[in-house]
């Protein structure tokens, strides 16, 4: 019996169906945790959590079932592999690819964390390659479909932090008592979260407040500007190009 035939005999359709169910359930549970993170507008949301949980499930399945072609039907290792440790390379892949993922995570000038989902995607691709290399073709293909679905559909459908956009606002206002509190209350009225705030006091008695805010994509800047300019102490509101979160 060839190694492929032996692997196919051990990885029955029923067992592979159960493996797929495990991957789906892991992705669902990871996404559930990501929903809570998304509600708090954290950098790692539903997509990142789903992908990491899905990848971890694939890696665990490979660890348990990926080396069945090294033993016979009785579970005894073939000659020449009795003292071998085939899992050592796989373990090095899991830890080594993490360093590659870290390389794409960074913080931009607005102090926002970027690249988390990309790093999780790199880790997921590594697990797919491991599954294919171990002869678990169905699991590798299904993991590919699952990762693409998480990346594509959850990006197209606004979910939690994906429904928000980062904006840069520069507001000029009169230097009077309580003006900053008023500004915060107006922004809160439009459900705008201030991420970063820098205030500079000019010699002409004008405060210039440069802020990075997170707001809903459907929110019109013109509407917010009208609400801000309703206060006579606010002189101007300038919006910069939005940055996708």
Report the pLDDT value the prediction gives residue 109, as an integer from 0 to 100.
62
Residues 139, 20 contacting (CB under 8 angstroms): yes
Burial class for 45, CB neighbours closer than 10 Å (0-12, 13-18, 19+): buried
What residues contact residue 216 under an 8 Å CB cut-off, 6+ apart? 163, 164, 165, 191
pLDDT tens for each residue of 212-226: 887 777 778 888 888
Distance CA(132)–CA(96), nearest Å, equals 18
Residues in the chain: 245
Distance CA(49)–CA(33), nearest Å, equals 7
Report the pLDDT value the prediction gives residue 245, as an integer from 0 to 100.
39
Report the pLDDT value the prediction gives residue 86, as an integer from 0 to 100.
61
Report the pLDDT value the prediction gives residue 161, as an integer from 0 to 100.
53
Report the pLDDT value the prediction gives residue 159, as an integer from 0 to 100.
56
Distance CA(186)–CA(176), nearest Å, equals 16
Instruction: Using the structure block, give the residue that is written with the tokens 């206060």.
Output: 231
Q: Which domains does the chain have, with CATH numbers?
A: 3-157 (no CATH), 163-244 (3.30.70.260)
List of the chain residues with pLDDT < 70: 1-10, 36-44, 68-89, 100-101, 104-114, 154-164, 241-245
Burial class for 182, CB neighbours closer than 10 Å (0-12, 13-18, 19+): middle
CA distances from 90 to 23, 52, 227 (A): 19, 17, 57
CA distances from 71 to 10, 75, 142, 159 (A): 11, 5, 26, 46
């Amino acid at each position: 019996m060839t190694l492929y035939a032996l692997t196919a005999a051990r990885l029955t359709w029923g067992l592979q169906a159960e493996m797929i169910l495990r991957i789906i359930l892991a992705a669902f549970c990871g996404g559930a945790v990501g929903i809570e993170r998304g509600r708090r507008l954290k950098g790692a949301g539903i997509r990142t959590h789903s992908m990491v949980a899905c990848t971890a499930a694939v890696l665990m399945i490979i660890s348990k079932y990926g080396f069945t072609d090294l033993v016979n039907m009785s579970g005894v290792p073939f000659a020449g592999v009795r003292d071998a440790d085939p899992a050592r390379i796989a373990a090095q892949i899991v830890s080594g690819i993490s360093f590659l993922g870290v390389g794409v995570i960074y913080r931009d000038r607005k102090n926002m964390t970027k690249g988390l989902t990309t790093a999780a995607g790199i880790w997921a691709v590594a697990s797919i390659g491991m599954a294919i290399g171990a002869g678990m073709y169905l699991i590798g293909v299904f993991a590919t479909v699952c990762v693409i679905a998480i990346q594509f559909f959850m990006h197209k459908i606004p979910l939690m932090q994906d429904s928000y956009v980062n904006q840069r606002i520069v507001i000029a206002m009169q230097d009077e008592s309580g003006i900053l509190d008023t500004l915060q209350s107006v922004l809160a009225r439009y459900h705008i979260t201030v991420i970063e705030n820098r205030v500079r006091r000019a010699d002409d008695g004008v405060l210039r407040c440069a802020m990075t805010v997170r707001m809903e994509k459907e929110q019109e800047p013109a509407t917010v500007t009208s609400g801000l300019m309703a206060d006579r102490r606010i002189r101007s509101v300038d919006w910069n190009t939005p940055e996708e979160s």
